[in-house]
Structures are given as C-alpha cells and as structure tokens.
A = this chain, B = another copy of it.
Amino acid sequence: MSNVYDKAHELSRTIRESEEFQQLKQLHEAVEQDEIAKRMLDNFRQLQLNLLQKEQQGQVPTEQEITEAQKQMELVQQHEMISKLMAEEQRVSTLIGDVSKIITEPLEELYGVPDQE
C-alpha cells in the first residue's frame, strides 16, 4: 500500500522535473508577467468557458458569439507567447493522459475495457 504512494510521489516528482512541465511553467510565468498577454488569454478562456457552459445547458451560441470566439482564437494564435503556452499545455496534457492510461491498465485488464494500443 505505502509502496503505491511512494511510487506515485516519485512519478509526480519526475513529471515536475520533466522538460515538458518546466517549459510549461516558464511560459506560464512569462504570460503572468505580461499584462497584455495575460488579459488576452484570460478573455479567451472566459469566452471558451461561457460557450462551454451554454452548450452544457443545451443552448445554441448566437452568430455573434461564434464570431467573437473566432476573433479571440485568431488573436491568441497570433500572439507568440500565448500560442507557445497553449502548445505546451497540449504537450503536458498528452503526457498526463498517457500516464493516466498506463496507471489504469490493471483496471482495464480486469474490466475488459478495450485496449487502445
């Protein structure tokens, strides 16, 4: 039992020390310190969140909202630091997703969830 927790902490440390996570951390801090970039990203995320919440409530976004979301998406994509941050977030997300699949393999085998490899 404690062995599982020890190994989990080891893995957590390895993730923290990974090149992916260190890059993400640097970009995250760089954006935090750049007022314009930070506001742009906050706006974008808030807009995405609003659209998602609408969707979850079964509502259809208006044409204006879709246009606004596209405009914000183009803005953040053209911003080098933010687009780098978002690409790095994607890399870390893939890494964590892979790790999660590896860890739940024993359960998949037991419950016969189809293997995705």
Q: Which A residues fall within an 8 A CB radius of B?
A: 1, 3-5, 7-12, 14-16, 18-21, 24-25, 28, 92, 95-96, 98-100, 102-107, 110
User: Can you report 29 A-B residue pairs in the complex whose CB atoms are below 8 A from each other?
Assistant: A1-B18, A3-B14, A3-B18, A4-B14, A4-B95, A4-B99, A5-B98, A5-B102, A7-B7, A7-B10, A7-B11, A8-B11, A8-B99, A8-B103, A9-B102, A11-B102, A11-B103, A12-B105, A15-B103, A16-B106, A21-B106, A24-B110, A25-B110, A96-B103, A96-B104, A96-B107, A99-B103, A100-B100, A100-B103
A2: shortest Cβ distance to chain B, in Å? 10
